Amino acid sequence: MAVLPILLVLLLGSSPTSSRAADEELEVTVLDVSLLEPHTSCSGHRVMPPHPHNNSWMPLFRPLGPCSPSFKAAAAAARAKPSLAAVLRQDRLRVHHIHRRVSGSRGARASKGSFKEPVSVEETQLHHQAAISVEVGTSQTSSEPSSSIHPAATDGSSSPPVTVVLDTAGDVPWMRCVPCTFAQCADYDPTRSSTYFAFPCNSSECKQLGRYANGCSSNGQCQYIVTGDSFTTSGTYSSDVLTINSGNPVHGFLFGCSQNEQGSFENQADGIMALGRGVQSLMAQTSSTYGDAFSYCLPPTETTKGFFQIGVPIGASYRFVTTPMLKERGPAATLYRALLVAITVDGKALNVPPEVFAAGTVMDSRTIITRLPVTAYGALRAAFRNRMRYRAAPPQEELDTCYDLTGVRYPRLPRIALVFDGNAVVEMDRSGILLHGCLAFASNDDDSSPSILGNVQQQTIQVLHDVGGGRIGFRSAAC
């Protein structure tokens, strides 16, 4: 029988002989991922997702896991799983990308020595990413390609689904299109969609691209370019019908039709669904219909599903703890940031001066490991080590607090909570504390760069980005 392929945690009651101090700690089961076989079935949602009401809801999944619509067990078994070192190297590229954007806005410097050439390992980050399945385009009954002047007849049906990775730090949605110059194109072929339109260079949409504009093609079509943490994509700036669930099409959805790529974007995904605060993002394009808000819940394992919602959750708002959303100018203006004010371990606040957190905390769906100011991380590490009663193991890259849990079925883990402005206390789920037996936090180089809340710590928590309400919210045990 197959077993879970990543960290699995179960809450257990304290034993009768435990000390009072120990009783205050959580007991969890931690399984060594290196000893586990791949799991080939999806168990669905661990918690029933909220009713969509007036907003759009859809399942969220790990692109390489069995909950992905395109999952193939044979291909998964043959695929080499990237090493932890490779995953962390790729994650450092992501952190550098975010810090570089912030440093361009406020003069703070990016983490030194964090930038390296993209690693050659494919799909390194995709194990830890969140994706949704969408449909782009409308099938046409005619075999003739469509144009803006003479659109082809349509039978009203949508195109094959594509898998897009959610990116809260991205501004321009894009997806791989046919034809393309890279190894794997998506199933989306603009010539087969009756509703596809390529923007001309003199269009207002092209002028709105700003720093993402990339000139004009030989036939007068607007070109875009997006440089990510480890890749660059370019192609034609376009529009088509986006279907995010069966009943909510977004007409005239603007996106980059990617025909050229450089770097190491993963082959098991078809593109990026940008959710940033830029004028080209999905949020900006759907704000008049759903309001300027979205939320998501990342599942703790590849074998379970989370969810993604557009709009403010109706009927569940009282379950969120909220904190003000910070505003920024310049390249970092489209990032989602909040003010972290304290960290607690087993309910006790760490002795960290408030000014250490002054740079704010970026909420990011694609960074894996949470980054903290060096002073804050040092205090967290000391408190965590003081409460762990297991033999230390060698560090793994920047993960310097690791343990040998071989043969330990029920290790005890201290509770960790992040406290945001407004007394918004967010306790980490048990699955968000360790990664491969190591404390799943890392340090910035100093206290001037912002913290980044990684997706390991966001697992099972519904994270609300309410731009209209100027707040960020957290609801625990949501998926």
Q: What is the largest CA-CA distance in the chain?
A: 79
Report pLDDT digits (tens) over 370-383. 999 999 999 999 99
Q: Mark residue 33 as left, alpha or beta (left: phi above 0; alpha: psi -120 to 50; beta: remaining).
A: alpha
* SS3 label, residue 406: coil
Residues linked to residue 462 through DSSP beta bridges, in sequence order:
297, 475
Question: H-helix or E-strand containing 371?
Answer: strand 370-372
Confidence (pLDDT) at 391: 92
Give me the helices (H) in 134-222, please: 204-207
pLDDT for the residue 120: 35
Burial call 213-246: b when 16+ CB within 10 Å, e when fewer: bbeeeeeebbbbbbebbbbebbbbbbbbbbbbbe
* Domains of the chain as residue ranges with CATH: 44-102+127-139+158-475 (2.40.70.10)
Residues 444, 233: Cα–Cα separation, whole Å: 28
What is the pTM assigned to this prediction? Answer: 0.84
Q: Is 258 helix (H, G, I), strand (E, B) or coil?
A: strand
Question: Under DSSP, is residue 204 helix (H, G, I), strand (E, B) or coil?
Answer: helix
- pLDDT under 70: residue ranges of the chain: 1-40, 48-55, 71-80, 105-127, 140-158, 182-184, 246-247, 263-268, 315-317
Cite the active site residues. 167, 364
Taking the C-alpha atoms of residue 62 and residue 239, their distance in angstroms, rounded to an integer, is 27
94-138 pLDDT per residue, tens: 999 899 888 875 443 334 333 333 333 334 455 678 999 999 998
Cβ atoms within 10 Å of 164's Cβ, excluding its own: 26
Q: Token pair of 473, please?
A: 């919210």
Angstrom distance (rounded) from CA 223 to CA 258: 10
Do residues 137 and 193 lie in contact, with contact meaning Cβ atoms separated by under 8 Å?
A: yes
The pLDDT value recorded for residue 36 is 36
Residue listed under structure tokens 């009713």: 51
How far CA 192 is from CA of 219, 238, 440, in Å, comes to 20, 14, 45
pLDDT at 411: 78
Cis before 179 (ω within 30): yes
Burial class (CB in 10 A: 0-12, 13-18, 19+), 118: middle
Residues 6+ apart with CB under 8 A from 23: 14
Residues 6+ apart with CB under 8 A from 402: 392, 393, 394, 395, 396, 436, 437, 438, 439
